[in-house]
Structure 1
Amino acid sequence: MPITKDESTWPIISLSLGEAFDQETVEEYIAYWEELLARRSAFGLLMVHSAEKNTRPERAVTQLYMNWCKMNKREIAQYCSGIAVVMQNAKLLAVYKPVTALSTKRT
């Protein structure tokens, strides 16, 4: 389980994405998003990415996530009040910005 979730401060949820935004991680992340959206209640995400690597996620992984976000953008905008992303390394921001941009954009 690459993602750790903390809902103890609901409606603010803390997520740790672990070491990599790989296929397993994105599938788990999407499943958790679906669970959150099914609650039909407002929430906010605090995402902590602890990886030290400066590598881009694989294109297919990024595309899977972006396609899911596009299909669910109305529900994301309705229930997700905002997302804060915390990176351990400033260089990671440039690497992961395309991955998080779609889900953090307000419609």
Structure 2
Amino acid sequence: MEDIDVKELKERLEKKDKFLFLDVREEWEYEDDNLGAKNIPLADLPHRLEELDSYKDQEIIIHCRSGARSGNAKKFLESKGFSQVRNVLGGIMAYRDL
């Protein structure tokens, strides 16, 4: 699936669209600043896949600080059979600049 920019993400969050919103930053980063996403740090993702099983065929939007870790998470989830994964380009840094 195509990645998503922060403007589209903001619109979708405001409309309360249905998707799994996943934050792959470390817990301390999440505690400092979060957008209400489910927090699973990138390093923990392989060990916590069962938490996401019910979303295998649903839209998952992933973000991190700048978009790099979430890009890696997207590739990983796609390799595990998740079919509708999108990365937030620019991450929370770009989101906060809106």
TM (norm. structure 2) is: 0.38
Q: Which has the higher contact order (CA 8 A, sep 6+)?
A: 2
